[in-house]
């Protein structure tokens, strides 16, 4: 029995149908890959891990604010604490998704960090005294006094340069020195000072208002999450307008 010979037309038709089948399968394959990629991106942005300064009260308050702000846009947040320098290096390398809070322009030194252009907190430093006769309105009024500041806080070292100052590693020790009269003034983070005095109500130490220094702190994200910046900036802004942010800060001060 002889083999049937295909006409050129039939042959081309078979080739064309086979090609169509292959194209359909390839199309389905690409759709599957695309869906997997989209799902991966969605999953990656449904949870973020943010790093921040170990032992920083502003980190703890900022973490609470961001947990709420991100929840409002459908993202859960975990936070970790690291030494200040190491945290920046690891976020810049992409090991974490962002920094909870830092001063402005930190992205000049860490180019993979992008600032969320809405202040998260304000870094406030206040003057604490025991002698009620002391009056401080600005840095120039500190010259007659012995000042205690935490060692390594560069902006305080800058502003008190040339003044009679004592550097102390332990922030709690500053208040012991002030309480015993060995120094006249303590300049320290407002949040830390209030937290300390809340735990030591017997000390007759008071904080002068307004703060002697107030610097905005910003949330930063790694550039791989830059598409989230408009959403989280608006979420933070709305929390400030509604008063929800102030409630979180007040609650933290009461609890600590």
* Domains identified in the chain and CATH numbers: 43-118+218-255 (3.40.190.10), 123-214 (3.40.190.10)
Per residue of the chain (256 residues), give pLDDT as tens.
444 555 666 556 665 666 666 666 666 655 554 554 544 444 446 899 999 988 788 899 999 999 999 999 999 999 999 888 899 999 999 999 999 999 888 898 899 999 999 999 998 999 999 999 999 999 999 999 999 998 877 788 889 999 999 998 888 899 999 999 999 999 998 988 988 888 888 888 999 999 999 999 999 999 999 999 999 999 999 999 999 999 998 888 777 6
pLDDT of residue 239: 97
Torsion of CA 219, 160, 152, 248, to 10 degrees: -40
User: CA-CA distance, 118 to 102, in Å (whole number)?
Assistant: 12
What's the Rg (C-alpha) of the chain?
29
pTM check: above 0.75: no
146 is written with which tokens?
Answer: 């012995």
| DSSP string computed for 229-250 | HHHHHHHHHHHHHHTHHHHHHH
Torsion of CA 248, 63, 47, 119, to 10 degrees: 80
- What is the DSSP code (8-state) at residue 140? G
Predicted confidence (pLDDT) per residue in 186-225, tens digit: 999 898 898 888 888 888 899 999 999 999 999 999 999 9
Answer whether 86's CB lies under 8 Å from 116's CB: no
Tokens 């030194």 label which residue?
A: 109
Question: For a pLDDT cut of 70, what percent of the chain falls above it?
Answer: 82
In this structure, how many other beta carbons lie within 10 angstroms of the beta carbon of residue 187?
25
For 167, how many CA atoms within 13 A lie in the half-sphere containing its CB?
Answer: 9
pLDDT of residue 25: 66
């Amino acid at each position: 029995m002889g083999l049937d010979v295909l006409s050129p037309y039939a042959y081309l038709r078979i080739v064309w149908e086979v090609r169509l089948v292959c194209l359909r399968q390839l199309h389905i394959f690409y759709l599957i890959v695309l869906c997997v990629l989209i799902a991966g991106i969605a999953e990656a942005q449904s949870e973020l891990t943010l790093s921040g300064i170990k032992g920083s009260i502003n980190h703890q308050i900022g973490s609470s604010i961001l947990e709420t702000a991100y929840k409002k846009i459908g993202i859960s947040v975990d936070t970790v604490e690291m030494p200040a320098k190491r945290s920046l290096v690891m976020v810049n390398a992409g090991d974490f998704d962002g920094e909870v809070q830092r001063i402005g322009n930190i992205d000049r030194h860490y180019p993979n960090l992008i600032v969320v252009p809405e202040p998260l907190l304000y870094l406030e430093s206040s003057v604490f005294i025991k002698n009620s006769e002391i009056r401080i309105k600005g840095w120039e009024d500190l010259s007659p006094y012995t000042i205690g500041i935490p060692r390594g806080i560069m902006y305080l070292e800058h502003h008190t340069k040339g003044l009679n100052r004592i550097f102390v590693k332990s922030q709690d020790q500053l208040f012991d020195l002030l309480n015993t009269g060995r120094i006249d003034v303590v300049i320290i983070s407002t949040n830390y000072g209030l937290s300390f005095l809340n735990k030591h109500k017997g000390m007759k130490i008071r904080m002068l208002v307004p703060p002697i220094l107030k610097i905005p702190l910003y949330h930063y994200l790694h550039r791989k999450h830059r598409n989230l910046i408009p959403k989280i900036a608006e979420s933070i802004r709305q929390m400030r307008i509604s008063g929800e942010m102030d409630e979180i800060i007040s609650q933290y001060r009461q609890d600590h």
